[in-house]
Amino acid sequence: MSVRGRDSLALWHFLRGNRVVTMPLPPLVRSLARSPFTWLLAALVLLLVIAPLVEGTRFGSAMFTVAMTTVCIAGTVANRHRKWVFRLAVASLVLVIPISWASLWSPSWSLSLGQNLIVIFFCGMTASVVLLSVLQVDQDTSQAVVGAICVYLLIGLTWATVYQTIELVQPDAFEFTARRTVSGGQGRHTTFAQLTYFSFVTMSTLGYGDITPRTPLAETACWMESILGQLYVAILIARLVSEMPRRRGREGS
């Protein structure tokens, strides 16, 4: 039995011999197909809000890995409408999931670096694709708003991973007033929750001053995220708001 064509929102078409067999999609798959950005947002909240609360324990590490896996799966589904992007997303998914779980049970510097690089690529690609979908006038208004939130969170997640990668390469890249650490493959390193906090503080230009970049690479990453965050809020959200009357008119017609 082989799959024929693209799955719709309610049906899955199979080719059995010379006869097409139509079967209903499972409710969970149907919901994921109809509201991919909602599922992606839920996965991002799990990763960025819930998982850090128990970071530093074996359970917390497992929960973080589960949350990252969920984000990757939801991001892959969100990329499904663009064939070449979907293939890249699937390839990234195939790589990042085993590396993430291998890092959980046998942490090492090389595994952490490889995982981070794949996550940076995947999240950056997914943010770009979701952004393109949000800018489309025919996109559902509610999903457009949720998608815009997902892009903002993906940017913060991407840069938090960038900062973690920089710290792997340059251990003294950041100065902390109160650093929280967890054990890893090469001794102790800063918790991902603290780097995520620093990422969103930088992107929103709050600048509390409790974490400071000390190397040129870290400084460059910080100012790039700061500019990107301000441009995103100023340009994209304004465009999204200006498009809402047209979207609502299209949905009401």
Domain span at residue 22?
1-33
- Report the number of distinct structural domains present in the chain: 2
Same-domain status, 10 and 113 = no
Could you tell me if 28 and 40 lie in one domain? no
Is-above-0.85 flag for pTM? no
Cα separation, 77 vs 86, in Å, equals: 8
Residues 117 and 206 placed together within one structural domain of the fold: yes
- Taking CA atoms, 117 is separated from 27, 95, 122, 164, 179, in Å, by 34, 11, 9, 10, 24
Give residue for tokens 């390839």.
91
pLDDT digits (tens, 9 = 90+) for 91-145: 888 888 888 888 777 778 888 888 899 999 999 988 988 888 887 766 677 788 8
Position 200 confidence tier, pLDDT thresholds 50, 70, 90: very high
Q: Residue 96's closest CA among 129, 121, 128, 61?
A: 121
What value does the mean pLDDT take over residues 174-193? 82
- The reply to whether 253 falls in a domain is no
Could you tell me the CA-to-CA distances from 169 to 11, 174, 211 in Å, in that order?
A: 48, 12, 18
Which domain CATH number covers 69? 1.10.287.70
Q: Is there a single domain that holds both residue 75 and residue 159?
A: yes
Question: Are residue 75 and residue 65 in the same domain, yes or no?
Answer: yes
Q: Are residues 187 and 235 in the same domain?
A: yes
Per-residue pLDDT tens for 22-56? 545 455 555 555 677 888 898 899 889 888 888 77
